[in-house]
């Protein structure tokens, strides 16, 4: 191969190691999981075993375009992370800091309307139905406190 190997690639707001296979390298981007990465690689026609550092700039642009506009490239709607957005009503896919900010806004909205999930978030409790009798105790007093023994008395 006449192309030079790139050790670190800046890609969709994340630094990706060039030594990783393309499929697993894409999962380093916030908002891209293994299923979406496999779908993107399949739709762009790039071999999944190819190392990220050996990709040409045209291949990288193809992958980046597929990540930013997944529906345009024929990726199923159920792979997107923001279906029927409350503001726009469209199916969109968020990446990086946009995903983090939107998640925080969603939690604040739940707290504001005092939904059950918002109530649990505001009190720092488990949100998704987990048990709380024996887990989730960080930050609280644990164990039994014993009264201090008085010296010389009873």
Statement to judge: residues 73 and 122 lie in one domain:
no
Angle between helices 57-68 and 34-44 (to 10 degrees): 120
Average of per-residue pLDDT across 28-52:
92
Please check whether residues 64 and 100 belong to one and the same domain. no
Q: Per-residue pLDDT tens for 123-145?
A: 888 999 888 888 877 766 656 66
Tell me which of 4-13, 33-42, 109-118, 134-143 is least confident.
134-143
Q: Has residue 23 been placed in a domain?
A: yes
99 shares a domain with 72: no
For residue 135, the model assigns a pLDDT of: 82
Q: How many domains does the chain have?
A: 2
pLDDT of 1 reads 45
Q: What is the mean pLDDT of the chain?
A: 86
Please indicate, yes or no, whether residues 68 and 101 belong to a single structural domain of this protein.
no
Residue 60, pLDDT > 60, answer: yes
Q: Quick check: 87 pLDDT over 60?
A: yes
Q: CA neighbours within 13 Å on the CB side: how many for 116?
A: 4
Longest alpha-carbon distance in the chain: 88
Task: Say yes or no: 67 and 105 in one domain.
Answer: no
Domain of 118, in residue numbers? 95-127
Q: Return the CATH number at 54.
A: 1.10.8.50
Mean pLDDT over 99-105 rounds to 92
Prediction pTM value: 0.75
Q: Are residues 21 and 73 in the same domain?
A: yes
Assess if residue 68 is contained within a domain. yes
Residues 6+ apart with CB under 8 A from 112: 118
Residue 81 near residue 93 (C-beta atoms within 8 A) = yes
Tell whether 67 is covered by a domain. Answer: yes
């Amino acid at each position: 191969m006449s192309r030079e190997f790139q050790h670190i690639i800046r890609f969709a707001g994340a630094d990706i190691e060039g030594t990783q296979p393309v499929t697993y390298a894409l999962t380093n981007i916030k908002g891209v999981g293994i299923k979406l990465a496999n779908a993107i690689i399949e739709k762009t026609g790039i071999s999944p075993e190819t190392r990220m550092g050996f990709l040409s700039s045209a291949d990288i642009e193809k992958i980046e375009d597929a990540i930013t506009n997944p529906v345009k490239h024929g990726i199923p709607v159920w792979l997107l992370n923001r279906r029927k957005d409350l503001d726009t009503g469209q199916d969109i896919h968020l990446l990086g800091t946009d995903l983090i900010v939107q998640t925080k806004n969603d939690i604040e909205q739940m707290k504001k309307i005092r939904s059950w999930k918002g109530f649990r978030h505001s009190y720092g409790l488990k949100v998704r139905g987990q048990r709380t009798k024996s887990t989730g105790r960080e930050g609280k007093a644990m164990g039994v406190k014993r009264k201090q023994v008085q010296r010389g008395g009873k």
